[in-house]
Amino acid sequence: TDIIVVAHGQANDPFWSVVKNGVEKAAEHTGANVDYRSPETFDMVAMSQLIDAAVNQEPDGLVVSIPDADALGPSIERAVAAGIPVISINSGSDVSKQLGALLHVGQDEFDAGKAAGEKLASMGGTKGICVNQEVGNVSLDLRCEGFAEGFGGSSSVLPTSNDPAEVESKVRAALDADEEIDTVMALGASTAGEPSVAAVKAIGRDIHVGTFDMSAGFLQSIVDGDAAFALDQQQFLQGYLAVNFLALHAEYGLMPGGNVASGPNLITAEKAAQVVELSAQGIR
Amino acid sequence: MSNDSTFHHGDAPKTAPIIQMNGIEKHFGNIIALAGVSFDVRPGECHCLLGDNGAGKSTFIKTMSGVHKPTKGTITFEGKPLSFDSPRDAMEAGIATVFQDLAMIPLMSVTRNFFMGREPTRGRGLLKRFDTQRANEITIEEMRKMGINLRGPDQAVGTLSGGERQTVAIARAVFFGAKVLILDEPTSALGVRQTSNVLATIDRVRKQGIGVVFISHNVRHALAVGDRFTVLNRGKTLGTAKRGEITPSELQDLMAGGQELAQLGGSLGGTV
Amino acid sequence: MSNDSTFHHGDAPKTAPIIQMNGIEKHFGNIIALAGVSFDVRPGECHCLLGDNGAGKSTFIKTMSGVHKPTKGTITFEGKPLSFDSPRDAMEAGIATVFQDLAMIPLMSVTRNFFMGREPTRGRGLLKRFDTQRANEITIEEMRKMGINLRGPDQAVGTLSGGERQTVAIARAVFFGAKVLILDEPTSALGVRQTSNVLATIDRVRKQGIGVVFISHNVRHALAVGDRFTVLNRGKTLGTAKRGEITPSELQDLMAGGQELAQLGGSLGGTV
Amino acid sequence: MKRPELGAIAGAVLVTLFFLATADSSMFTLAGVMNFMTPAAQLGILAIGAAMLMIGGEFDLSIGSMVAFAGLFFGVCSVTWGLPLIIAIPMTLVFAGMVGAINGVIVIRSGLPSFIVTLAFLFILRGLSLVGLKLATGGSTQLRGVRDAVEGDWLAPFFSGDAFQGLFASLASSGLIDSFKNGSPKVPGIPVEILWFLVIAALATYVLLRTPAGNWIFAAGGDSNAASNSGVPVARVKISLFVLTACCAALVAIITVMDAGSTDARRGFQKEFEAIIAAVIGGCLLTGGYGSAIGAFFGAIIFGMVVIGLTYTNFDQDWFQVFLGGMLLIAVLFNNAIRKRVTGER
Amino acid sequence: MKRPELGAIAGAVLVTLFFLATADSSMFTLAGVMNFMTPAAQLGILAIGAAMLMIGGEFDLSIGSMVAFAGLFFGVCSVTWGLPLIIAIPMTLVFAGMVGAINGVIVIRSGLPSFIVTLAFLFILRGLSLVGLKLATGGSTQLRGVRDAVEGDWLAPFFSGDAFQGLFASLASSGLIDSFKNGSPKVPGIPVEILWFLVIAALATYVLLRTPAGNWIFAAGGDSNAASNSGVPVARVKISLFVLTACCAALVAIITVMDAGSTDARRGFQKEFEAIIAAVIGGCLLTGGYGSAIGAFFGAIIFGMVVIGLTYTNFDQDWFQVFLGGMLLIAVLFNNAIRKRVTGER
Ligand SMILES: Nc1ncnc2c1ncn2[C@@H]1O[C@H](COP(=O)(O)OP(=O)(O)OP(=O)(O)O)[C@@H](O)[C@H]1O
Ligand SMILES: Nc1ncnc2c1ncn2[C@@H]1O[C@H](COP(=O)(O)OP(=O)(O)OP(=O)(O)O)[C@@H](O)[C@H]1O
Ligand SMILES: [Mg+2]
Ligand SMILES: [Mg+2]
C-alpha cells in the first residue's frame, strides 16, 4: 500500500520532525510505503500543488494538514473525488468533515492556545508576551490568539526569528523594557522556548515560561523549575495513527468512527522527567 | 610642415558659433579639473583642443556634451543660453560625441552599440519595432567606409580589437552628428589606414557645415585638419591660435606646457 | 626621416634571443586571431610589432605574457621550452607587460595599482606588512620621471585622466621589467612630453640589456626607437626588417596592409 | 555569447531525462505535467520580470513581499470593499506599480545598490501585509472569502481556474485523456497561469530582442554610464523595469489569491530568491546586460520540475534540500558547459 | 572614496540617537548594551567574513547553512565522539574550511557566479545538517548535551560564556555596576563573542589595509581580469576568502552551540542574508573591490541594534518589519549621503 503525507511543516522543523518520525514508525509497523512531503516554507499555494502531485500518483491513502481550508480545499476535494481516502491531521478539525476527510487526528491550535493561556492565568499571570518565531504562519498565529483569549490579561506578540541568540536578546529586551511582564508563552520549544528560559534566568525575575511542543532542553528546564510547562499535543500520534488507520483501511476497510484528539497534554514538572529521553529521540 | 595640406581651406569661417562655452569651471570634490575655460565652435570648422595629460580636455568636452554639469560658467547653444541635463539632451540638440572611453557596451553586438539610444524602427503603433536588418546594413557599411571589414554585425564589441572598437564609436558619432561633432582622441588606437580615414572623414564632415571639436596629442594630426587650436593647461586656456598663425614647434611647445622634452629633438623632426 | 636618430645604436645585437615564439596560433571559438606567428626578442634590442587594427598584435603579446594559452605553437624562454600558466608565471620569469587595456583597477589608489601583485613589505614573519610609505615614495618618483606630477599617491586610478592612467601602467612595467618589457600601444593616450619620456625610457631600458617589444601605430615612434620591425597582417607575419633596411614609407605601406590610404599624401609627409 | 538561453534548454532536457528515469510514471502524464507546470508558471511570471530587471542591471528583492502585499490589497478590494474585478485588478496593478516606481526612484536618485533598497522594501512590505491583514480581518493573519467574492465575475475566468474546460471535458468523455472514476477529466483544463506565463514570456522576448526599449535595457544593464553617455534614458528605463517587476508580482498575487480563495501574511515568502535563481539558471548575468526571457522561462520550468518532481520520486523528504541543491548545481554546471561549447570560449 | 566605513559610523550614531529618544532607558544600561551586542557580534563575525569575500568580488550564500552544518559537526565531535575541544574545534574549522574551498574551487573552475554555486550549497548543507542530526540523535532534529560534554575543558572559556567575570564581580560588589539583589552583577562579564568580534574586525582591517594579501583582495574584486594580468594570484585569493568565510561561520557555530548547549537543524537560518546586509550597510559594494571590515563591524552593530532595539520601544510589534525596513533604508541613505559629502562627489 502507498500512503502519502502532505503537511505544512518542514522536515527540519523540530515539531514536524516528530510527526515524520511517527509516520515512519507506522510505515515500519504496517509495511506500507509512506512518503512525507512538505513545502519549503509555510506556503499554502505550494502545499496545494503538492497535494495535487500526490493525487496524481493515486496512493491508497492521503494524510494532510489543513491550516487554510480555502487554499487547500479544492485540492483535497479533488483527492476525494479521485476516490482516495483522506485523513486530516494537526490543524483543520473544523473543516475536515466538510472537505470529505474520513476523520481528523490532532488538536485545534486555537483551543490549545486557550488551554495554555488559562493555565498561565491560573498561575497568577497578568501580563504576557507570546514569542512567535515565524510571524505570518497561520497555525502559529492561531496559537497566539488562543493564548490571548485564554489568558485574559494583557498580552502582546513578540516577533522573532529562528536564531536562538536573537530570541534570547529580544525576550530580554522585552522583559527589561516592561517590568510588569510576568508570563512568557513560547510557540516552539527549541526555537523560542529554550532561549526564553535563558533570558528569564539571566534577568533574575520570577516569570512563568510556558511553551507549545517539547524539546529535551526545555523539559529539563521544567524539571529544574526554570519553566512552568510544555503543551504537548503528542504529534507523534498524528503521524503514526493517521498512517496506521489508512493502512488498515486499505487492507481491511476499517476506520474509527470519529475524530481522535491527540492533545492537549500539559507536561509539568511531575511528568517532564519521564519524557526527556523520548523527546531527545524525536518521539515526543 | 608644409602649408599645402589637402585639408586646409583657408581661414576659419566667420559665421556665428554654434556652441559657445564661457568661463567653465568644474570641481570634483576638492579637485579642480577646470578653472575657467572659454571655447566656441563655428559651423564648418575643425577646432582642435590640445593640452598635456590631465589638462582637463576630456572633462571640458564632457561638460559640452551633457555628461557633467559645470560648477560655474555658461553655455550658449545657437545663441540661446542652455544647460544640458543629460547626454540625451545634448544629442537631441545635435551634438554627437566620441568619448575617450568610447561609451560602448562590451557584451552587446556592434549593431546594437552603434544604434544605442537612437534605434531605427519599422512599423508603427504597438508594432513599432527595432529594424534590425536595416541597422545591420548601415553598421557594416559605415564601418567599411572607415576601413574596417567586420566579421559580422552581431559580433560582441567586447571581442573587437582596441582599434576596431574605437572605429565603431567614431562611425556612430559621424553617422548621427548633426551640428557639432566632438572627438576625444579618436585616433589614439587606430592603425595608419584607419587614421587617415578618420582625418578624411573629419574633413568631409566639416565641409558639410558641421562644427568639429578634435582632441589629439598628435601635433601632425591636429595640424592636418585643424582650423583653430586652443591649448589647455592645468584647467585653464593658454590661448587660441588660427591655422597659419602658429608653427608646429610652437604648438608642440604649448602642448607640452612649456616644459622641456626629453632628448628627442633630432629623431622626430620636431613633432612627436 | 634622418638616420642620425639619438636612439639608434647600430645593428640589433647578435646575442641569443631571450624569448622565442614559433608558429603561434590562437583561436577564439571559430575566430582565428593568430594563424602562425613567429617572433623573438634579444637582450638590448627594441623589437617593434606593427600592424593594422585587428591584425592580432594584442592577442600575440598576450600569449607571450601568459594571459592566453596558444592553441598551437611553442615558446622558448632563455633556451628552454616553456609554457606560462598565468601572467604571474610570466612575470616571475621576468616579463613585464603594459596591456592595451592597462590592467588597472579604477577603484584602487595609484600606489596600490602600481604595486599590485608585487607589494614591497616591511618586517617579517607574521608582522610582514605592505610598506605603504616606501610604495608611495616610489610611485610618486617613478611617475615624476615620466613627466606626471601626481596630486597624491592615494588618488583612485579611476579619477585619473586617460594619459595619466597609461603612464602609471608604463611606469609600473618599467619599474618591474626584468628581462623583457612588452608595451602594447603605450603612447596612444599620451601627451607630447609624456610620449617623449616614454620613448627615452625605452631607450634607457634597452641599454641596460632588457629586450623591449613595442607595439605602435605611429610609424615615427616606431622608427625612433626600433631595432627590428615585424609586421602582422590578419594573424600572419608579413616579415621582419632590420633598422635601416626599410624606409618609413615602405613600413607605412606594410602596416596599412598594402591598401591605399585616403588622400593624405601631401599633408602628413608620408607618415601618419 | 549570443544565446543565453541555450544552456537552460539543455538543462531542462537533462532534468527531464533524470525524472523520466527516477520518478513515478504519473509525473509525465497530462495531469502530472500540469501539476509541475502550475508552480513553474507562477514562479516563471516573477522570474521573467526579475530577469528583465537583472538584464537592466538591477535587482528587486521585494517581489516576494510584493506578492503578499498586492494579494492583501487585492483581497481587500474584492472582499472588504466588494469591488468588481474590472476595477479591483487594475487598481492592484497600479498600486503595485507605484510601489515599484518608488523603489526605482530611490535607487536612481540615491545611487544606492538596488539590492539594499529593495531589501528594505522586502521588510517594509512584508510588515505592512501583516498589519494590513490584521486591520482588514480584525486580528487574523489570514483573509478568506475571495473565492466567493469573485464568483460569477465575468473577468474571473481570465485570472483563475482552468481554461478550455469544455474542450478537456469532451476529450475526457471521448477517452482521449484520463478521467476519474466519476467521469470528470483528471485534468479539467489548462491552469490560466500557464497561459499567462506563455504570453508574458513571448512578450518579454519580443520587447528585449525586437524593440528599441529592449536595446536600452541591455545597454542600461551592460554599463549604465556608457549607455547614458550614448543617449539612453537610463533612469527612465530602470524605473519602468521596477514597475514592470512589481506588476508581475501583483499578477501572480491576483492569480494565486483567486485560486486559493484566501491570502495570508506569508504568501510569496522567498519567491524573490527563487525568481533570481530561475533567471540565473536561465543564463542571466548577475552583473546585468546579459540574459534572456526565454532563458528565465526554462529556468522557472527547471526549478518547478525539480521542486515538484522530487515528490514523485522515492527520496526521503529529509534529503529533499540536498537533492534540490545538487540538481541546481548540476543543472547550472551543465547549462554553462553547453553554452560555452556552443558559443565558443568567452 | 577612500573611507567606505565613514557612512556606517554616521549611521550607527543616527540609530543610537533614535533609540536614545524612543527606547526604554534600560536599552543603554550596561546590561542592555551587552544584550544587543551579543547577537550583533555573532552576526558581525559572519559579516566581516562576508565583507572580505564581497570585497574580493564573490558572495557566499551558504554561510547560514554552514552555521548549522558546522554546529552539527562540532556537536558530534564533542558529544558523540567525546573529543576534547583542542581537537574538536580545529577539526570543525578545518572541515568547514574544506567545504568553503569546494565552493571556491567550483566557482573558479566553472566561471559560474558564486551566487548560484553557493546557493546550491545553501540547500545542500542545510539538508545535510538535518540528515546528520537525525543520524546522530536517532531521530531528533536537536542535538543536546554539548554543555555537559565541554564542561571543564580548559579551552571552553575562550569560546563560551562571559569573560572577565572576576572583574565584573568586584565591580559589582564595589557598586560600580548594577547588581541583583543577591549581590551578583547584572552583567556577569563580557560575552566572549564580543571579544572575538573585536579581534576579528581588527585583524581583518589589518589584513585589508596593511598587507599584500589585502591589496590582492581589493584587486581581485575590483577587476579580476586586470588583477590576474598584473600578477595577482586571483584564484588563490578567492579560494582563500571562501575558506575564511566558512571558518567565520564555523566559529559562530562553535560559539553559539557551546552557549546554547545544543544545536538544531535551523541554526543560522537566513544569516547569509543578514551578513550581506550588514556588509552593505557598512559600505561594501556588491560589485566587489570596495569596502572595509570596520564598515561591516558597524553595519552589524546597526543591524543588531535595530533588531533588538525595537523591542525596547513602545511600537506595536506587528510593525516590527516595517520599522526594520524603514530604519535600514534611512540608515543606508544617511550613510550614503555622509560618505558622498565627506569624500567628494564620486
Ligand atoms: N571624476 C573625477 N574625480 C576626480 N578627479 C577627476 C575626475 N575626472 C577627472 N579628474 C581629474 O581632472 C583632471 C583632468 O582630467 P581630464 O580627463 O579632463 O584630462 P585630459 O586633458 O582629458 O587628459 P588626457 O589627455 O590624459 O586624456 C585630471 O587630473 C584628473 O585626475
Ligand atoms: N576574446 C576574443 N574573442 C573573439 N575574438 C577576439 C577576442 N579577442 C580578440 N579577438 C579578435 O581577434 C582579432 C585580433 O585582435 P587583437 O586585439 O589582437 O588586434 P590588434 O592587432 O591588437 O588590433 P589593435 O591595433 O586595434 O589593438 C580581432 O579581429 C578581434 O575581433
Ligand atoms: Mg582625456
Ligand atoms: Mg591591440
Residue nearest (by alpha carbon) to ligand 1 atom 14: B56
DSSP state of C156: B
Q: How confident is the model at residue D121 (pLDDT cuts 50, 70, 90)?
A: very high
Nearest-neighbour CA in chain E from B57: distance (Å): 19
> What Cα–Cα distance (Å) separates residue C111 from each residue in A17, C108, C116, E222?
57, 8, 8, 15
Are the C-beta atoms of residues C54 and C138 closer than 8 Å to each other? no
Residue of C nearest to D341 (CA): C29
Cell of B33: 579639473
Q: How confident is the model at residue C265 (pLDDT cuts 50, 70, 90)?
A: very low
Q: Over range B34-56, report the average pLDDT.
A: 91
Rounded CA separation C184/C196 (Å): 16
Q: For ligand 1, is residue C152 a contact (CB within 6 Å)? A: no
Helix or strand or coil: residue B62? helix
- Chain A neighbors of D318, CB-CB under 8 A: 11, 20
Domains of chain E, by residue range, sit at 6-341
Highest mean pLDDT out of A264-268, D21-25, D162-166: D21-25
pLDDT at D8 over 50: yes
Q: Are C37 and C50 within one domain?
A: yes
Q: For ligand 1, is residue C164 a contact (CB within 6 Å)? A: yes
Q: How confident is the model at residue C269 (pLDDT cuts 50, 70, 90)?
A: very low
pLDDT at B156 over 60: yes
Cell of B262: 626629453
- The length of chain D is 346
Q: How confident is the model at residue C263 (pLDDT cuts 50, 70, 90)?
A: low
Nearest-neighbour CA in chain C from E233: distance (Å): 7
Rounded CA separation A132/A144 (Å): 8
Q: What is the mean pLDDT of chain C?
A: 83
pLDDT at D171 over 50: yes
Q: Over range A216-224, report the average pLDDT.
A: 89
Q: Over range D304-330, report the average pLDDT.
A: 86
Query: In terms of DSSP H, where are the helices of chain D?
Result: 6-22, 30-55, 63-75, 85-110, 114-137, 146-150, 156-159, 165-173, 192-210, 212-222, 224-229, 234-260, 271-281, 293-312, 320-343
Rounded CA separation A244/A23 (Å): 9
Using only C-alpha atoms, chain D has a radius of gyration, in whole angstroms, of 21
Q: Are C31 and C63 within one domain?
A: yes
Are the C-beta atoms of residues B162 and B186 closer than 8 Å to each other? no
The pLDDT of residue D208: 93
- Percentage of chain B modeled with pLDDT above 70: 89
- Percentage of chain D modeled with pLDDT above 70: 97
Q: For ligand 2, is residue B152 a contact (CB within 6 Å)? A: no
Q: Are C166 and C187 within one domain?
A: no
Q: Over range E194-206, report the average pLDDT.
A: 95
Beta bridge partners of E162: E191
Q: Are B270 and B183 within one domain?
A: yes
Rounded CA separation B105/B117 (Å): 12
Options 2.60.120, 3.30.420, 1.20.1410, 1.10.3470; CATH of E6-341: 1.10.3470
Q: How confident is the model at residue E44 (pLDDT cuts 50, 70, 90)?
A: very high
Q: How confident is the model at residue B266 (pLDDT cuts 50, 70, 90)?
A: very low
Strands B211-215 and C31-41: unpaired
Nearest to D212 among B92, B107, B119 (CB): B119
Whether B207 maps to a domain, the answer reads no
Listed residue (B104, B39, B102) closest to B70, CA to CA: B39
The pLDDT of residue C262: 54
Nearest to A282 among E26, E141, E182 (CB): E141
Helix or strand or coil: residue B260? coil
Q: Tell whether D145 is within 8 A of chain A (Cβ).
A: yes
pLDDT at E308 over 60: yes
When divided into structural domains, chain B yields a total of 2
Cα E194 to ligand 3 centre (Å): 50
The pLDDT of residue C180: 92
- The angle at the Cα of C257, spanning C255 to C259, to the nearest 5 degrees, equals 115
Q: Are C84 and C191 within one domain?
A: yes
Q: Are C183 and C90 within one domain?
A: yes
Domain harbouring C234, CATH code: 3.40.50.300
The model's pLDDT over E235-289, given as tens digits with 9 standing for 90+, comes to 999 999 999 999 999 999 999 999 888 888 888 888 998 898 899 888 888 888 8
Listed residue (E40, E80, B236, E243) closest to A169, CA to CA: E40
Whether C161 maps to a domain, the answer reads yes
Phi-psi region of B82 (alpha: psi -120 to 50; beta: other; left: phi over 0): beta
Q: Are C136 and C245 within one domain?
A: no
Listed residue (A17, A49, A13, A14) closest to A36, CA to CA: A17
Phi, psi at B233, each rounded to 5°: -145, 120
Using the beta-carbon criterion (under 8 Å), do B105 and D231 form an inter-chain contact? no
The pLDDT of residue D88: 94
pLDDT at D346 over 80: no
- Chain A neighbors of D308, CB-CB under 8 A: 49-50, 53
Listed residue (D153, D39, D129) closest to D75, CA to CA: D129
Using the beta-carbon criterion (under 8 Å), do E345 and B28 form an inter-chain contact? yes
The model's pLDDT over B69-83, given as tens digits with 9 standing for 90+, comes to 999 999 999 888 988
Q: Tell whether C257 is within 8 A of chain B (Cβ).
A: yes
Q: For ligand 2, is residue C63 a contact (CB within 6 Å)? A: no
Nearest to B112 among D215, D285, D290 (CB): D215
pLDDT at D242 over 80: yes
Chains E and A touch (3+ CB pairs under 8 A): yes
Residue of D nearest to A37 (CA): D317
pLDDT at C12 over 70: no
Nearest-neighbour CA in chain B from C129: distance (Å): 31
**CB-based burial label for C85 (10 Å; 0-12, 13-18, 19+):** exposed
The pLDDT of residue E346: 44
DSSP state of A91: S
The per-residue DSSP string of A164-196 comes to HHHHHHHHHHHHHH-TT--EEEESSIIIIIHHH
Q: For ligand 2, is residue C55 a contact (CB within 6 Å)? A: yes
Whether B202 maps to a domain, the answer reads no
The letter for the amino acid at B229 is F
Q: How confident is the model at residue C270 (pLDDT cuts 50, 70, 90)?
A: very low
Cα B106 to ligand 1 centre (Å): 23
Q: How confident is the model at residue C260 (pLDDT cuts 50, 70, 90)?
A: low
Phi, psi at C129, each rounded to 5°: -140, 160
Q: Where do we find the cell 615558446? A: C75
Evaluate the CA torsion angle E247, E249, E250, E251 in order and state its sign.
positive
Q: How confident is the model at residue E300 (pLDDT cuts 50, 70, 90)?
A: very high
Nearest-neighbour CA in chain A from D183: distance (Å): 10
Q: How confident is the model at residue C259 (pLDDT cuts 50, 70, 90)?
A: low
Whether C76 maps to a domain, the answer reads yes
Cα(first)–Cα(last) distance of chain D, in Å? 7
Q: How confident is the model at residue B244 (pLDDT cuts 50, 70, 90)?
A: confident
The model's pLDDT over A237-249, given as tens digits with 9 standing for 90+, comes to 999 999 999 999 9
- Chain E neighbors of D112, CB-CB under 8 A: 332-333, 336
Listed residue (E304, E301, E303, E279) closest to E292, CA to CA: E279
Nearest to D222 among B102, B105, B129 (CB): B105
Lowest mean pLDDT among C25-39, E20-34, E95-109, E330-344: E330-344
Phi-psi region of D187 (alpha: psi -120 to 50; beta: other; left: phi over 0): beta
Beta bridge partners of E340: none
- Chain C neighbors of E285, CB-CB under 8 A: 107
Beta bridge partners of A3: A34, A61
Q: Over range E117-140, report the average pLDDT.
A: 91
Using the beta-carbon criterion (under 8 Å), do C162 and B101 form an inter-chain contact? yes
Q: Tell whether B69 is within 8 A of chain E (Cβ).
A: no
Residue of B nearest to E1 (CA): B29
DSSP state of C238: E
pLDDT at B269 over 60: no
The model's pLDDT over E147-166, given as tens digits with 9 standing for 90+, comes to 888 888 889 999 988 888 88
Residue of C nearest to B256 (CA): C193
Rounded CA separation E290/A12 (Å): 38
The pLDDT of residue A263: 76
Cell of A86: 483522506
CA B155 to chain CA centroid, Å, is: 25
- Chain C neighbors of B224, CB-CB under 8 A: 264, 267-268
Distant-in-sequence, close-in-space partners of A231: CB < 8 Å, separation ≥ 6: A112, A115, A116, A210, A211, A212, A213, A263, A264, A265, A266, A267
Q: Over range E113-137, report the average pLDDT.
A: 91
pLDDT at E50 over 60: yes
**Helix, strand, coil percentages for chain E (3-state, nearest 5):** 75, 5, 25
The pLDDT of residue A275: 85
Q: Tell whether A68 is within 8 A of chain D (Cβ).
A: yes
Rounded CA separation E122/E108 (Å): 18
Residue nearest (by alpha carbon) to ligand 2 atom 29: C54
Q: Are C183 and C272 within one domain?
A: yes
pLDDT at C6 over 80: no
Listed residue (A247, A258, A262) closest to A85, CA to CA: A247
Whether C46 maps to a domain, the answer reads yes
Q: How confident is the model at residue E178 (pLDDT cuts 50, 70, 90)?
A: confident
Rounded CA separation A182/A201 (Å): 13
Q: Tell whether B3 is within 8 A of chain C (Cβ).
A: no
Highest mean pLDDT out of B180-184, C50-54, E136-140: B180-184
- Percentage of chain A modeled with pLDDT above 90: 40
Question: Which range of residues forms the domain containing residue B152?
Answer: 105-176
Phi, psi at B118, each rounded to 5°: -145, 55
Number of other CB atoms surrounding residue B2 within 10 Å: 10
The pLDDT of residue C258: 65
Q: Tell whether D4 is within 8 A of chain B (Cβ).
A: no
- Chain E neighbors of A157, CB-CB under 8 A: 317-318
Nearest-neighbour CA in chain E from A144: distance (Å): 13
Phi-psi region of D269 (alpha: psi -120 to 50; beta: other; left: phi over 0): beta
The pLDDT of residue E106: 95
Cα E299 to ligand 4 centre (Å): 44
Q: Are C122 and C218 within one domain?
A: no
Q: How confident is the model at residue C261 (pLDDT cuts 50, 70, 90)?
A: low
pLDDT at B176 over 80: yes
Nearest to A136 among D141, D146, D260 (CB): D141
Query: In terms of DSSP H, where are the helices of chain A?
Result: 14-30, 44-56, 69-81, 109-122, 138-151, 164-177, 194-203, 216-224, 235-252, 269-280
Residue nearest (by alpha carbon) to ligand 1 atom 8: C159
Strands E142-143 and E263-264: antiparallel
pLDDT at B2 over 50: no
Q: Over range B124-151, report the average pLDDT.
A: 86
Residue nearest (by alpha carbon) to ligand 1 atom 28: B54
Q: Over range D104-131, report the average pLDDT.
A: 91
Q: How confident is the model at residue C266 (pLDDT cuts 50, 70, 90)?
A: very low
Q: Are C62 and C113 within one domain?
A: no
Nearest-neighbour CA in chain E from C239: distance (Å): 29
Evaluate the CA torsion angle C27, C33, C39, C42 in order and state its sign.
negative
Lowest mean pLDDT among A264-278, C244-258, E79-93, E237-251: C244-258
Listed residue (C1, C66, C8) closest to C202, CA to CA: C8
Q: What is the mean pLDDT of chain D?
A: 89
The pLDDT of residue D344: 55
Pocket probe mutation, ligand 1, options B37, B57, B255, max atoms within 8 Å of Cβ:
B57
Are the C-beta atoms of residues E159 and E254 closer than 8 Å to each other? yes
Whether C204 maps to a domain, the answer reads no
Cα B158 to ligand 3 centre (Å): 21
**b/e map C88-120, b = 16+ CB within 10 Å:** bebbebbbbbbbbebbbbebbbbbbbbbbbbbe
Using only C-alpha atoms, chain E has a radius of gyration, in whole angstroms, of 21
The per-residue DSSP string of E197-238 comes to HHHHHHHHHHHHHHSHHHHHHHHHHH-HHHHHHTT--HHHHH
Whether B145 maps to a domain, the answer reads yes
Whether B159 maps to a domain, the answer reads yes
Distant-in-sequence, close-in-space partners of C253: CB < 8 Å, separation ≥ 6: none
Rounded CA separation E265/A13 (Å): 8
Q: Which ligand is nearest to the CA of B166?
A: 2
Q: Over range E294-314, report the average pLDDT.
A: 91
Rounded CA separation E269/E275 (Å): 11
Cα C162 to ligand 3 centre (Å): 5
Cell of E114: 558564486
pLDDT at C271 over 50: no
Q: Are B144 and B124 within one domain?
A: yes
Chains A and B touch (3+ CB pairs under 8 A): no
What is this structure's pTM? 0.90
The model's pLDDT over C158-204, given as tens digits with 9 standing for 90+, comes to 888 888 888 888 889 889 877 899 999 988 888 888 888 888 888 88
Rounded CA separation E177/E173 (Å): 8
Q: Are C184 and C237 within one domain?
A: yes
